[in-house]
Amino acid sequence: MATGFSPAFAQSSERIAQVNERIAVSKMVAAARARAGAKWFYWIAGLSMVNSIVVFTGGNLHFVVGLGITSAVDGLAKRVGGAGSVRDMVINGFAAGVFILLGTFAIKTQKWAFVVGMMLYGVDGLLLLRVKDYLGVGFHAVALYCIYSGYKSAKQVQVISV
């Protein structure tokens, strides 16, 4: 049955469909990479809180991916004793909450959340460098690289969407 369209028109329609499919796949891949980078904020927050709970309960375990500032607060709270423990959990909960919030916005490919999070985590890494926690600094560098990769992918998602 003849459609009334020329073969050239059918071929160009097919090419347009293929290009649109490639664009959709590229956007999905970039979005998945952005989410992977954003999830680092959740890991940072979660492991920071685990570190604080371990200190609170008298344990000796420590995750290097967590926040250095929460470790500093943990150390100060340990010196103060019982009264410092509640403050410790509130302060560390706030810090973890900031990173959870950043992760929530970064998952939605909000570039500002990646930038603010990288700045805060970078400053935190400088704190670790100051106390010569080189293993912590190294893990901060790896996490920052992964978050930056997510940021680049979030930019791609926004460019592809235009």
* pLDDT tops 80 at residue 137: yes
Helix H or strand E segment including 10: helix 7-56
pLDDT in tens, 45-100: 999 999 888 877 877 777 787 888 888 888 787 777 766 777 888 888 999 999 99
Contact 45, 96 (CB under 8 A): yes
d(CA 124, CA 129): 9
Contact 2, 64 (CB under 8 A): no
Helix H or strand E segment including 160: helix 134-161
103 Cβ contact partners less than 8 Å away, ≥ 6 residues apart: 38, 39, 40, 41, 42, 45, 113, 117
The pLDDT of residue 4 is 59
pLDDT in tens, 150-159: 999 999 988 8
